[in-house]
Chain A
Amino acid sequence: MKDFGFTINKDRQIDMDTADMRVAEYVKTHEPSFNICIACGTCTATCSAGIFTDMNLRKLFTLVKRGEIANTRTEIAKCMLCGKCSLACPRGVNTRNVIVKINQALIKFSL
């Protein structure tokens, strides 16, 4: 193989046809309130981790739903499970349990 000094860039599109939805499906089954998130960001604004690290709970939930789970493990490790997000959520999403379920799914599927 020739080295031209560059390689073919990888696509950064989310491809819903090939996305790994195992984590999303697991969380939806075990914490159905994951479905009713409206991505308002209340959780993220109040998140202890979000204020001192680059964790973004709202975005993390969206990415999990799109099968974008490459960085999920590192991201949720920043969570202190303080529960402020659940308290703040206007929709009644059990956000704290969603994180626990995401973690369980990552372990279950060795991701």
Chain B
Amino acid sequence: MKKKRVIVIGGGISGMEAATHLASMGYDVTLLEKDKELGGHLLGWEKLFPTMRMGKDVVEFLNKGITLSKVNVIRKAEIVNAVKTGEIFTVTLANGNKFESDAVIMATGYDLFDARKKEEYGYGIYDNVITSADLEEKFLSGKPILTSKGNVPKKIALVHCVGSRDEKVGNVYCSKVCCVTAVKQSIELKESIPGVDVYCLYMDLRMFGMHFETLYKEAQEKHAVNFIRGRLSEACENQDSSIIVKVEDTLAGKPLRMTVDMLVLMVGMVPSAGTVKVGKMLGLKFGPNGFLKSMDQHTMGTITNIPGVFIAGTCAAPRPINNVFVDARAAAITASSYLEGYDIEKRISYS
């Protein structure tokens, strides 16, 4: 009997893990990745919360899965068309190559929120305003963390919820990973710059994951990171290109100003351009926040409105890496049961 075929779209964590599992179950799996390398956003991240293990270890684990289970990987794949005809999916690339399959896994991920949209924070204008991703790039480079003028920063503030929980930019949801990323990066800043003062400007600290709270306490206890509850209202640049931040210290009940040498914006997740593009081509439904919609929030995660299309990872919602792994494996299972003729929709008795 001919092997059933699956196309996995997106070669980040969720796509790689889902592809690995489907291939190991015996399916003929093609993984389409737009970049020249697999790994997605993880490639730009040095250490991972909450354990501080290296991101590249996880990439290696994922790559090994792809190699061992013999996934057919197509890199630099730009999708120009994706359709379902009868029971068969056809995905066409810009170079004219066509791929057919019996199921599709959407693993198209997220884009980082474009911090320039928060005009009042001055990203792209003030020299010493950077994003969490920019900071991660600096960590990854191994070079010392310096201000735009090449000085060692004495005071750094990290702004939570940039592009998240913000109606003004159209994103009402929590991106889940930024709070703990801020705590992680605070600790790393404290470790790499002796004597630096670090301030986290937050609305709520959402330490939901196992060990996140421990990391937070470690930041307070071991590293004396300062936490100020209040959302940044605006940043301004001084003559010496240091940054003035204005927040309300909501616990003190007073407005607060502070000059910092560097301001780090914890940018949230938005549905990736690829998620929107390919999702539309396949006729998938989008939720109110613009991410791909699963058929039911409790019972039908990974399952979409198009039979045979399954969603994995952050194209469905912001998620930390451990959840993405679980989600990718769940998508592989639901895709497999679909390919074996199991109809999960039979179980639905509610409307």
Binding site for B on A (CB under 8 A): 12-17, 28, 32, 35-36, 38-39, 58-59, 62-63, 65-66, 68, 91
Q: How many residues of B contact A (CB 8 A)?
A: 18
Determine if B24 is an interface residue (Cβ-Cβ < 8 Å). no
Which residue from A38, A58, A62, A91 sits with its C-beta under 8 Å from B249? A62
Which of chain A's residues have a CB closer than 8 A to the CB of B259?
16-17
Min CB–CB distance A5 → chain B (angstroms) = 27
- With a 10 A CB-CB cut-off, give which of A15, A28, A35, A58 has the most chain B CB atoms: A35
State the CA gap A68–B255 with chains docked (Å): 12
Determine if B67 is an interface residue (Cβ-Cβ < 8 Å). no
Determine if B258 is an interface residue (Cβ-Cβ < 8 Å). yes
Give the A-B contact count at a CB cut-off of 8 A.
50
Determine if B288 is an interface residue (Cβ-Cβ < 8 Å). no
Q: Contact between A68 and B251 (Cβ–Cβ < 8 Å)? A: no
Q: Contact between A62 and B220 (Cβ–Cβ < 8 Å)? A: no
Q: Contact between B258 and A59 (Cβ–Cβ < 8 Å)? A: no
Q: Contact between B221 and A66 (Cβ–Cβ < 8 Å)? A: no
Q: Can you list 12 A-B pairs, Cβ within 8 angstroms, ordered by A?
A: A12-B254, A13-B256, A14-B254, A14-B257, A15-B256, A17-B258, A35-B224, A62-B249, A62-B251, A65-B226, A66-B256, A68-B252
Q: Contact between A63 and B257 (Cβ–Cβ < 8 Å)? A: no
Closest 5 CB pairs of A and B: A16-B258, A14-B256, A62-B251, A13-B255, A36-B220
Q: Contact between B252 and A66 (Cβ–Cβ < 8 Å)? A: yes
- B245-274 vs A, CB cutoff 8 Å, 1 = contact: the mask equals 010010111111111000000000000000
State the CA gap A31–B153 with chains docked (Å): 28
State the CA gap A32–B223 with chains docked (Å): 11
Which of chain A's residues have a CB closer than 8 A to the CB of B76?
none
Q: Contact between B251 and A17 (Cβ–Cβ < 8 Å)? A: no
Which residue from A12, A32, A39, A68 sits with its C-beta under 8 Å from B221? A32
Given known A-B contacts A39-B229, A62-B249, A66-B249, A28 and B255 have beta carbons under 8 A apart:
no
Q: Contact between B254 and A35 (Cβ–Cβ < 8 Å)? A: no
Determine if B217 is an interface residue (Cβ-Cβ < 8 Å). yes
- Secondary structure at the A interface, as helix, strand, loop or mixed, is mixed
Question: B213's closest neighbor in chain A, by CB?
Answer: A38
- Secondary structure at the B interface, as helix, strand, loop or mixed, is strand
State the CA gap A16–B249 with chains docked (Å): 11
Question: B258's closest neighbor in chain A, by CB?
Answer: A16
Given known A-B contacts A15-B257, A17-B258, A65-B226, A36 and B251 have beta carbons under 8 A apart:
no
Which residue from B221, B226, B249, B258 sits with its C-beta under 8 Å from A36? B221
Q: Contact between A28 and B251 (Cβ–Cβ < 8 Å)? A: no
Min CB–CB distance B207 → chain A (angstroms) = 10
- With a 10 A CB-CB cut-off, give which of A16, A62, A63, A66 has the most chain B CB atoms: A16
Q: Contact between A17 and B257 (Cβ–Cβ < 8 Å)? A: yes
State the CA gap A12–B259 with chains docked (Å): 17
Min CB–CB distance A25 → chain B (angstroms) = 10
Q: Contact between A35 and B249 (Cβ–Cβ < 8 Å)? A: no
Q: Contact between B221 and A35 (Cβ–Cβ < 8 Å)? A: yes
Which of chain A's residues have a CB closer than 8 A to the CB of B217?
36, 91
State the CA gap A38–B229 with chains docked (Å): 10
Min CB–CB distance A98 → chain B (angstroms) = 14
Which of chain B's residues have a CB closer than 8 A to the CB of A32?
221
Min CB–CB distance A34 → chain B (angstroms) = 10
Min CB–CB distance B248 → chain A (angstroms) = 9
State the CA gap A109–B258 with chains docked (Å): 24
Q: Contact between A59 and B253 (Cβ–Cβ < 8 Å)? A: yes
Q: Contact between A14 and B226 (Cβ–Cβ < 8 Å)? A: no
Min CB–CB distance B216 → chain A (angstroms) = 8
Min CB–CB distance A23 → chain B (angstroms) = 15
Q: Can you add 6 more A-B contacts, CB < 8 Å, to A14-B249, A91-B217?
A: A13-B246, A13-B256, A28-B224, A38-B205, A62-B251, A66-B254
State the CA gap A36–B224 with chains docked (Å): 9
Q: Contact between A14 and B252 (Cβ–Cβ < 8 Å)? A: yes
